[in-house]
Structure 1
């Protein structure tokens, strides 16, 4: 076990070497540019950056972070914002003083619960902590929505100079290589041991800088593939690097003992990769669940084109975001349906929606095409249809169902998936409405729900 631990001397050298390297080589990132004495502001900025950086690359986050901070520079301003505006910013839409609304990045940050959690954090801090960011680690973990041990460790160490550890993907990789931790990361024993290593090495004098130096090393030098070992400031303490240099055959890996649960086993070694790259052991990828949904885009002329949008319930995948009518279907069910049956199925499902007063005729539902969107855990296929309705049909006024014109669709809190759907159908809808036949009254497009389909 001692082989996988740092000695007191090694910890001292590790801290000193890493901080000296960080002071010279750290990247200039907007969330590291404080210029503020107020720890409350620093804590807020760290929280925003850390939640944005979850599952998202630094280069992407920079644009969103800077835009976010211009709109909501402190906790109070965020707490007073509307959820719709927050989701718009997260989706990649900003207010521009010249162009009014514009996209600054079309893909959006995704994982929209992160945005909602930031909003909830701000409101809770204003309402329960008088606007002061709580500085106790356990309070952050137990009270702030979306804040776990890692995020709380980052905020407490960087903003409040507390010697609390962090453990993200970059830190796991650095520590696994430094101490040759080759056991399964899915095991609690492995995670607990890595947390204990992170606790051992965190620098009490400069905890925030040290934690950031660990992340920086993993992001820029100790990378997953082709690590730059020759540029590493702590290579002399890296057991994986030493092991790579010393062994003549990577099939002969030194182990603490036959029963050591942390050592990498010879049977796990791929001779096509360097030994350093074997740490940490790669997680087996979870296969995304495949799903299929029908989308029905209902539009009208007023005389502008308008589209019916529904606000997703909080329990849904894209909760709080605006969406077109979506009807889920299993693959087996889908395979058994021809085009006529698909349209009938869509109409039957619409009949169950209490806020829609009229339903389309089968003959007037047109297929626009398909698109695919990959969520973190779902591979989603959308089959897209569209239909026209009269100006006063379809909608019973509701805060969760509204008509949006094209500009509003582009600038509202709508997911990337729905933007893809819209882009598939819009050219065909415009073609339909520009042929002169759709500018007057359109008869028989919709029937009352009580009528037979």
Structure 2
């Protein structure tokens, strides 16, 4: 069996009861490196809710799944209810958005409230009541493998004859050929007032090179917020078992909640006193340290979904120093081997 996070999860915790009884540290450790770390935490929270408050019985409808389980949104609830319990309810994920927008020639921003409501309504109308799980999985797979964001395989699409985006492409090609012959399409002469809330915005005219990929047109994304952090690999030698590296645990909420990292301090991008601020952070965990040994190694950039985090990386080796024998709660010393299997983020492993 190919190892994936799902197979690893099921092998380690084959039942809801097993997952519910695991520690958050164990969940974070298995989830490390996968991103979207809150999902692992919420998955366990959901298991505990089912075991401790719902008598071990999973909610069986999209409505109750979304209402009773933490972290379960509309899409997840619909997917579970239709696939696991046979409820005739639609699902809308990124792949289904693309399929529906092209089939119905919806060119407006799919994240807008109007378009989102329309897509969910369409999904509900289309779902097969006899085989809702199969239908929803097929719609998602169609978007993932055939109706792809770029270079979609329209000739292989089972719904190509129903696709209004494909019809629009053919109309545009015909219109272009008529224009070359001096017969402009009268629709081209009509102004686009932008009043249609499902149509492509008037500021984004038809792009002949995109074909069906003109649908949908996404709004421009905001650039990720830039954050600067100074972090230090603090290492102390050990006669037995090799050197140890200091890791501290992040807060229980927020970005990378509960994961372990090198001691770090967030700075303003133009901060000139990062050296001093970092030493203060290190000493708050490990006591008095030789500031003269702190060396700047370079920088590492890691981009999250909404944050561009630049780490100014330092090192400090406690060669010849009195070993640090006590650490406060929320800190621990690990070997390099232990570090690679600990609940640390991909950014720290860089």
- In the superposition, the TM-score normalised over structure 2's length comes to 0.88
- Equivalents in 2 of 1:366, 1:123: separation in Å? 45
Kept after mapping to 2: 8 A contact 1:395/1:402: no
Which of residues 271, 290, 311 in structure 2 aligns to 1:361?
Answer: 290
Residue number in structure 1 paired with 2:11: 70
Quote the RMSD (CA, aligned, Å): 2.3
Q: Secondary structure at the match of 1:332?
A: coil
Q: Which runs of 5+ in 1 are unaligned?
A: 1-29, 31-60, 92-107, 421-453
- 2:175 pairs, out of 202, 225, 249, with 249
- Contact 2:300/2:310 (8 A) holds in 1: yes
Secondary structure of the structure 1 residue equivalent to 2:89: coil
Of stretches 383-392 and 280-289 in structure 1, the one that deviates more from structure 2 is 383-392
**Which position in structure 1 is the counterpart of 2:139?**
214
The question of 1:308 aligning with 2:246 is answered yes
Label 1:245 to 1:408 Cα distance change in 2 as closer, same or farther (>3 A).
same
* Residues 265, 277 of structure 2: 8 Å contact kept: no
Give the deviation of 1:272 after TM superposition: 4.5
The 5 Å alignment of 1:385-424 reads 385-389=314-318, 390-393=321-324, 395-398=326-329, 400-420=330-350
Aligned to 2:209: 273
Q: CA deviation at 1:283?
A: 3.0
| 1:139 matches 2:69 | no
Q: Distance in 2 between matches of 1:293 and 1:412?
A: 21
Contact 1:359 1:394 in 2 (8 A): no
Secondary structure of the 1:331 match is coil
Moved more, 73-82 or 193-202: 73-82
Residues 114, 197 of structure 2: 8 Å contact kept: no
How far off its partner does 1:278 sit?
A: 0.7
Q: 1:83 Cα deviation (Å)?
A: 1.8
Distance 1:242-1:370 versus aligned 2 partners, 3 A rule: same
Residues 342 and 274 (structure 1), Cα distance of their counterparts in 2 relative to 1, 3 Å cut: closer
Where relative contact order (Cα < 8 A, 6+ residues apart) is larger, the structure is: 2
Deviation at 1:391, TM superposition (A): 5.0
Counterparts in 2 of 1:213 and 1:62: CA distance versus 1, 3 Å: farther
Q: How many residues align?
A: 334
Which residue does 2:309 correspond to in 1? 380
User: 1:394, CA displacement in angstroms?
Assistant: 7.2
Mapped pair 1:344 → 2:285: no
Q: Distance between the aligned counterparts of 1:249 and 1:62, measured in 2?
A: 52
Residue 124 of structure 1: which of 24, 49, 58 is its match? 49
Change (3 A) 1:62 1:162: farther
Shift of 1:62: 6.9
- CA shift in 2, pair 1:239/1:84, >3 Å: same
Post-superposition offset of 1:350: 4.3
1:184 aligns with 2:125: no
Secondary structure, counterpart of 2:175 in structure 1:
coil
Local SS of the residue matching 1:290 = strand
Contact between 1:225 and 1:277, CA under 8 Å: does it hold in 2? yes
**1:80 to 2:5 alignment:** no
Residue of structure 2 in register with 1:329 after alignment: 267
The one-character-per-residue Cα deviations of 1:218-264 (angstroms, maximum 9, x if unpaired) are: 11111111111111111111111112123323696689x96432123
Aligned equivalents of 2:127, 2:322: Cα separation in 1: 64
